[in-house]
Every structure is written in structure tokens, then in C-alpha cells.
Chains A and B, each alone.
Chain A
Amino acid sequence: MLNTIREVTFVFIIVGIVTLLGNWVGYNILPFEALPGIAALVLICLIGFVIQAALPSKIPVIVYIAILSVVLAIPGMPGSEKFVKWTDQVNPLAITTPVLAYAGIAIGRSWTDFTKLGWKTIVVGMCVLLGTFLGSAIIAEIILRAQGII
């Protein structure tokens, strides 16, 4: 377990550096301004991994990470203002770009599988994604309007 945490720490530091640089080039935020924010996010992820390793249940680690960061940012929590201010300096799109860059390299391997899918699968696949997206959006719209929020 200690090895995993050490390994994960190094990886997060690398992804953090890539994010800081992308954040600088794409969104004009100097790396030292975004450093506290990214450091806080990395720390939260690591705590998430430690909690998951320590508990016997098989809940996905992102659930722990999400709950941790949500709770720490709730208005009124000690230090939450500073935490939110720091992480504001990290543009979310600056994290998304490396995610999809890694994803592209990872899925290159399934290219042959992908080309074997017939056109029918592609059509149905797009309808599946459209279906969940539109279905959820329509329900959300009805309720948000009924509540007078939008």
C-alpha cells in the first residue's frame, strides 16, 4: 500500500506540473499563482487514496475524492474561502486537456477494435449518448422551470 501511495504521489506531481504549464499557456495564469491550488487538489486526491486503501469497502476512489473536496469547500468550513480562492486559479479546462491527451494515447490501441464496429453500432452509440443527454436535460429543464430557478 505504501508503494502505491508513493507511486501515485509522484504521478500526481507530474500531472500537476503539466496542468500548471497548460494553465499558463492557455489561460494566462502564472504557475506560481496556481501552485497552491494544484497542491491542494493533489493533496485531496492522495488523502482519497489513503482512505480507500485503509477501508475494506470497494467504493471507487473518486467518490472519496469528490466528497472530500466538496466538504472542504462548503461555505463556513474552516479555511474553505482560501481553498476555493486557490483552486480558482486552476482552470478546469487546463486539467481536461491532459486527461484527454493521455486518453488519446491510451485508446490508440483499440483503434482496430473501433474500426471493426459496423456503422449500425456507431449510429446506435450516438443515439445512446444523445438519449441520456437529452433525457436528463429535458427532465432537469421541466423541474428547474417549475421551481422558477431558470
Chain B
Amino acid sequence: MINITQNLWKDWRLHVIVLAIVLLTERIGSFNISVGPGVILLLPMLYAMVVGIGIYFTPLIKEKQSKSAESLVFLAVCLLIARFGVVAGASLPKLIEVGPALLLQELGNLGTIFLALPIAVALGLKRESIGMTFSTGREGGVAIIVDKFGLNSPEGRGVMAMYIFGTFFGSIFMGLISGFLATITPLHPLSFAMASGIGSGSMMAASSGSLIGAFPQLENDIIAFASASNLITICTGLFVSIFVALPLTEKLYGLLTRRKQIHANIKEKNNVGG
């Protein structure tokens, strides 16, 4: 939670710098880069993040500003959630209509396991891969793994690596790929809008922002679907992670490593035989 002794609002240096970043990046505006049939959108929010990271390394920012900024992200996300909530409320009849899709697409969050775990195992990662792939590794995921395995276990190191990766790269990555995938794949932008609710406010913002940039005529539907899906993920994500995702990951890890072991044995036998 927010540390009240921090006197966040009095950190004028931070607020003035952020204001300057916002004015500069909004002034530059957005650009579309065509990549084959798809479009990669460069939006002010992405420049803002990159400029922010850059400014951290200048003497303008001290440790104190960087710490205050962390709480400010959280508070600014609250404002964003409220803004998105208004659109979701206004589109409630439509949300009820798409309710089945909204609820069931939550199962798609298990896609982290099916896509990333085999790749992690193929790359030679051991039990770290369980912590890395059972969820997107946000705060809730870290808590689950630390509770079950401890922070100094392979699983703990895995989830922490993913936490750092997601914090650092998640928003930028989602902002770049969501508009691109929506323009290049046959899937509908509104399906991607639902998929944007990953359970992280800033990733949802980056992902749906990129979709809005690519399909401005669908703005309200995109926001409504993304925020509803994000809210559902926040409410159900922890339970799904504990009771479905983590056991499933461990099971699949067992299967994958056993298969790998059998393959290795066969190879060895053949080598001996040959």
C-alpha cells in the first residue's frame, strides 16, 4: 500500500518532470509503421515509458523520485480503471451479451503454460520454468510461488525473473504486439480487446491503447471489453492460478521432462548400438 509518510504530492521535481514528458510525447503524437500486412503503432505512452527510463539515469532523478513514482503508477492506474469502468458501465447491456465469451476467454490465460513451458523446457530450463510460465508473474503470482516453494527455490527464482521481465518489458511488449497481431491475424480486434485483460493495469492499458490506435472506430467496445476482462482476471486470477494453473504446470513439466529423458535415453542407446 501507499506509504503516507512519503508526502508524494510534494515531490514537485517528479511531477514537473512527468508533466514535461507527457507534453513532449503527446506533442510528438503517434506513428504507424507498416510491417507487411500488419501495423506497429508507436504511441506517446510508449515513448513516455522509454523517456522515463532514460531520465532515471540523469541527475534529474534521485532515488526518492523513483520510489515516489512507484506509488504514483498505482494511483494513476486507479484513475485509468475509473475511466475504463465508465465505458464498461455504459456498455453493460453489450457486456452481458458477450458474457459467455468474457468468462470463457479467462481460460485462455492458461495459454502461458501451453506456449511458454515447452519452449522453456526445450531451452534447457529446469524447475525455474514452472515459476516462469504458470502465470504472467505479477504480484499475486509471486506471492503464490513464494508461499509454496520459497523465494530461494528454483521456482521462486523463475517467478521473480518473470516479475522483473513483465514490469520492465510487459507494457512495451503488449503495446507493440497487440495492434500488430490485430492487424495481421484473422482474429477480430474485439477478441484481442478481451484478451487485453491480463490482470495488470498498465499492460491492459498499453495493449488496449494500441488496439484503439489501430481501430479508433471501435474505441468504446475495446475499452469496455478490456476493462471487464481485466476486472474478471483480477477477481478470479488468484484462484485459477492456485487451483488450476500451478498444478497443471507441474503436471505438464513432469510430462515434458520425462519425454525429454526418454528421448535422451533412446539416443544414448542408439549411439551405443551404432
- Of the A-B pairs whose beta carbons lie under 8 Å apart in the complex, a sample of 30, sorted by A's number, is A7-B2, A7-B6, A8-B2, A11-B71, A18-B18, A22-B44, A73-B86, A73-B89, A84-B89, A93-B45, A95-B76, A95-B80, A96-B205, A97-B48, A99-B201, A99-B202, A102-B69, A104-B48, A105-B65, A107-B56, A109-B67, A121-B161, A131-B115, A133-B178, A135-B115, A136-B195, A139-B107, A143-B101, A143-B105, A144-B191
Number of interface residues of A (CB under 8 A): 95
Q: Which of A79-104 contact B (CB under 8 A)?
A: 80, 83-84, 87, 90, 92-104
A103–B9 touching, CB < 8 Å:
no
Report chain A residues within 8 Å CB of B97. Answer: 147, 149
* Given A104-B51, A122-B165, A131-B116; A136-B229 close (CB under 8 Å): yes
Number of interface residues of B (CB under 8 A): 129
- Measured between alpha carbons, how far is A4 from B53 in the docked complex, in Å? 28
Is A55 located at the chain interface by the 8 A CB criterion? no
* Given A97-B44, A99-B73, A104-B50; A66-B123 close (CB under 8 Å): no
Q: For the complex formed, measure the closest distance between the CB of B184 and the CB atoms of chain A, giving whole angstroms.
A: 12
B66–A87 touching, CB < 8 Å:
no
- The contact string, 1 if C-beta is below 8 Å from chain B, for chain A 123-150, is 1111111111111111111011001011
* A interface secondary structure, majority: helix
Name the CB-closest residue of A to B53.
Answer: A104
* Given A26-B26, A139-B107; A147-B52 close (CB under 8 Å): no
A98–B83 touching, CB < 8 Å:
no
